[in-house]
Amino acid sequence: MLIRNVGLFAVSTALVWNVGCQKPGAAEQQKENAAVQDDMQAQRNAAEQAASAQAEMRDKVGAAQADFQHERDDYRRDREQDIKELDDKIFKIQSRADSAQAATRGRLEQSLATIRAERAALASDVNAIDNVAASAWDEFKTKVDNEYTALKAHIDKAS
């Protein structure tokens, strides 16, 4: 009977030891570790997506800035060409004034004074095109267009 009790004791001890080796909470720890790893992977994925979105946004901003610079350059070139054409007309008016009789010459000289002041303002604004921010571009462009239209009208009236 003693052998039976010792055998039973040995089997009981082995079972308790085996259960004890399972470490209580090991399954929960594994679940927690898996959750932490999933969270870290999600954070890495989010960081990659954010970096990708930022790179895409930088590309779009760069393209928009290049488009705006191109538009500005084209506008400046067009306005400079317009000024050259107006300068030719101003020269013709000046030539007419130089050879005109006194009454006509006086009227043309008054018109030329106004025309030259308007031309100087237009040329100054055209020279300032590179300094105009994109946020003020439409307003600035409207101002220059209006100056050009007014100057052209005065030149046509004097011609």
Alpha-carbon distance of 51 to 53, in angstroms, equals 5
Q: What is the pLDDT of residue 26?
A: 81
Asked if 90 and 155 count as a contact pair (C-beta separation under 8 A), the reply is yes
Alpha-carbon distance of 44 to 50, in angstroms, equals 10
pTM check: above 0.95: no
Q: Which residue ranges in the chain fall short of pLDDT 70?
A: 1-24
Asked if 158 and 108 count as a contact pair (C-beta separation under 8 A), the reply is yes
Q: What is the pLDDT of residue 93?
A: 94
pLDDT tens string 113-152: 999 999 999 999 999 999 999 999 999 999 999 999 999 9
Alpha-carbon distance of 73 to 130, in angstroms, equals 8
Q: What is the pLDDT of residue 18?
A: 52
